[in-house]
Amino acid sequence: MDRDEILRVLRAFEAAGLEYVLIGATAMGFHGVVRATEDIDLVIRATPENVEKLRAALTSVYADPQIGEIATTDLLGDYPAVRYYPPTGDLYFDVITRLGEAVTFESLEAETKMVADIPVQVATPSALYRMKRHTVRAKDHQDAAALRERFNLPEAD
């Protein structure tokens, strides 16, 4: 992943006032648990206005007409996730508004990390652990174990 591109995107999120929380391997990296990844996973507040802020932020970085295809009805509908591939091809974004009943923007425990003077909303280590510990992916189990060990988290909370 291109660090400069990520910083441009995070600055655009801040400038647009996007309400979001990073999750997944990118969030883990902000906590010092580094794993290779090609995507940025984020949960956004599920409102039409916030989806518009997402489109505005991405457009300010990529000027890609495909961004207009990120539909509010998708992110607020029955399958609340979209994947956006920027024209750079260096990374992609998985944007969600909820993970079933378990995770929503409002229920996600987050904290602010400062990166190059940009405030970034990141899921806490315990929130990441809870999201990853019972999935079917082996990678998530490894992530959960690394988070538990690094932050001395209880196996169940």
Q: Confidence class of residue 156 from pLDDT cuts 50, 70 and 90?
A: low
Separation of alpha carbons 51 and 73, rounded Å: 10
Q: Give this prediction's pTM.
A: 0.90
Task: Write the pLDDT tens digit of every residue in 51-86.
Answer: 999 999 999 999 899 999 999 999 999 889 999 999
Closest CA to 22 of 44, 42, 50, 1: 42
* Band of residue 20 on the pLDDT scale cut at 50, 70, 90: very high
Domains and CATH numbers, the chain: 3-123 (3.30.460)
